[in-house]
Chains A and B, each alone.
Chain A
Amino acid sequence: MPRVVFHKRGEVFADEVAENSNLVVRTGVRRFPYPHLTFGCGMGKCGKCACRVIAGAEHLPEPNWKESARLEQRIAQGFRLMCQLWISHDIEIEQDDVLNAAAVRDAAAAAREAAADETNRAAVTADEVNRAVGTTDEADRPSVIASEAKQSRSDVGSTGIASLRSQ
């Protein structure tokens, strides 16, 4: 059975887990490393379960698309999302909630910035179309473009809410 060594806030917790165990699932059902491992959505989006792998990384599969999107350059520093990993070999990991929260905030800020850029692009596109068709009244604008711009605005809102939640 794989042995998991888990470092957090200067303490070390260790136990054996069944072959092919997911540590977020185990924590969710109140087994080791419960209550020490922090996790959130369980779907590779929030990043709260990120851990730095100290030993055993060679036995893990390559980061999947969610880990790549969420962790970005942190992957090179050895970070992985525990919700995306099924453990079959000994592993030693470390979790830092403060560091994870900061990374989540940074990612949320980047997402807000990207969404704002998208809104601006949609607005510019709408203005270009309006000039081309010779109308300036929003009510007269082509409905598709107007709805695209509205959608982009709503995306900004939802991203903001998601980031607040994840904090």
Chain B
Amino acid sequence: MPELMDQASFRTALEAAVKGNSANKSPFSIAWAEGKLSRKHLARWAENHFHYVGPFAEYLAYVYARLPAHLTEAKDFMLSNMYEEEIGGDRHTDLLIRFAEACGTTGARIKDSDNMSPTTRGLQSWCYSVAMREDPIVAIAGLVVGLESQVPSIYRRQAPALRSQYKFTDEQVEFFDLHIVSDEIHGERGYQIVLAHADTPDLQRRCLRICEIGAQMRLLYTTALYHDYVEADLPLRELDLAA
């Protein structure tokens, strides 16, 4: 029978579950950080990414509605996270569209859900499924710790290349800068909530598993972007990755 982990051990286990499947390992992320993608590739990324992150407040809204009323602080965090995604400053998807337009695509193409790959549709569906069906604390582990907490580390690697190698302006890449701050807060608050409220061995086990799956889903999504849009132009051997 598994025992309840103390918070420090549980946090270490959560971090390991995410890091083991970090999207930074995907060929798409590697090519991006090395400046080997074209603006056409980045445009396809934006057209897909919109459909993964665009409904993020909706995912969180399902969790918010199902969180018990007495978990006031956790509910407030979800509400604040939703607010910041949509209306706290600039709407985050508006900044994504600004970047996408700088890559050469259009707002209409980005918003057209027919332009996402089947794998992106799978990631979006997984997010909705987790939000609607899992225990709310497990859902926070999956969506906020498993997915959102990875973002600062991903964008810290990718944002410098966008300026130095792809020659985008500061304004064009604002989407990435803002997430380094906002998702650092969201990810850490997600950790704090999961650590505080996953208070049985079974809940801890389910949180760990869903973090692992969430990270796997993001890695799958990012890897599929490479296969769907980049591989024909940039084979794995050119990234020093085995084919």
Contact = CB atoms under 8 A, between A and B. Distances in A.
Interface string B77-113: 0000000100111100000000000000000000000
Nearest to A166: B89
B182 A43 contact: yes
Contacts of B188: 25, 28-29
Q: Is the interface of A mostly helix, strand, loop or mixed?
A: loop
Interface in B175-213: 177-178, 181-182, 184-185, 188-189, 192
B83 to A, nearest CB: 10
A45 interface: yes
Contact of A43 (B89, B170, B189): B89
A43 B171 contact: no
B93 to A, nearest CB: 13
A22 B156 CA distance: 14
B174 interface: yes
- Number of contact residues on B: which range applies? 10 to 19
Contacts of B84: 41-42
Nearest to A69: B171
Q: Is the interface of B mostly helix, strand, loop or mixed?
A: helix
Contacts of A142: none
Interface string A33-77: 000000011111110000000000000000011100000000000
Contacts of B182: 42-43
A41 B88 contact: yes
A44 B179 CA distance: 12
Given A41-B89, A45-B90, A29 B185 contact: yes
Nearest to B88: A41
A45 B181 contact: no
Interface residues of A, number: 18
A30 B190 CA distance: 12
B87 A43 contact: no
A45 B171 CA distance: 12
B177 to A, nearest CB: 8
B192 A30 contact: yes
Contacts of B170: 64-65
A43 B185 contact: no
B174 A43 contact: yes
Interface in B53-90: 84, 87-90
A108 interface: no
Contacts of A43: 88-90, 174, 177-178, 181-182
B192 A24 contact: no
A42 B192 contact: no
Contacts of A9: none
Nearest to A31: B188
Contacts of A65: 170-171
B22 to A, nearest CB: 20
A81 to B, nearest CB: 11
Contacts of B177: 43
Nearest to A28: B185
A36 to B, nearest CB: 16
Contacts of B88: 40-43
Contact of B185 (A42, A45, A46): A42
A65 B178 CA distance: 13
Given A41-B84, A43-B88, A43-B174, 5 more contacts: A29-B188, A42-B89, A65-B171, A66-B174, A83-B181
Interface of A: 22, 24-25, 28-30, 40-46, 64-66, 83, 165
What 6 A-B pairs have minimum CB-CB distances, sorted nearest first? A41-B89, A28-B185, A43-B178, A29-B188, A45-B89, A43-B89
